[in-house]
């Protein structure tokens, strides 16, 4: 085996080793847990839903109060008609 062939074989082995190393790194990256991102997104979604629920509850309470006020006004108006 001449010096050129020896150098070629060494370069080929080094390239093969580098490829194996890259593949191993990619496999490790694929298997890393990604739950921290999904937990953060789920947490933000939960906060958003809680805020939305609170706003809807305020809106509903305002509607109920408005309806109760309107029914009291209507009741007073009907009582006033009978008194006259």
Q: What is the mean pLDDT of each run of 10 residues along the chain (84 residues)?
A: 84 94 90 76 91 91 88 86 64
In whole angstroms, what is the distance from residue 43 CA to residue 33 CA?
Answer: 17
Domain with 67 in it: 47-84
Q: Give a yes or no: residue 53 inside a domain.
A: yes
Number of structural domains (the chain) is 1
Q: Give a yes or no: residue 64 inside a domain.
A: yes
In whole angstroms, what is the distance from residue 83 CA to residue 75 CA?
Answer: 13
Which pLDDT score is estimated for 46?
92
Q: Give a yes or no: residue 37 inside a domain.
A: no
Phi/psi region, residue 21 (left: phi>0; alpha: psi -120 to 50; beta: rest), is: alpha
Q: What is the pTM of this model?
A: 0.42
Q: Give a yes or no: residue 30 inside a domain.
A: no
* Beta-sheet strands, E only, within 1-84: none
């Amino acid at each position: 085996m001449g010096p050129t062939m020896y150098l070629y074989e060494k370069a080929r082995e080094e390239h093969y080793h580098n490829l194996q190393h890259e593949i191993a790194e990619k496999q490790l990256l694929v298997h890393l847990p990604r739950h921290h991102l999904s937990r953060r997104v789920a947490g933000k979604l939960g906060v958003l839903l809680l805020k939305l629920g609170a706003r809807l509850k305020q809106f509903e309470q305002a509607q109920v109060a408005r309806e109760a006020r309107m029914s009291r006004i209507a009741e007073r108006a009907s009582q006033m008609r009978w008194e006259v």
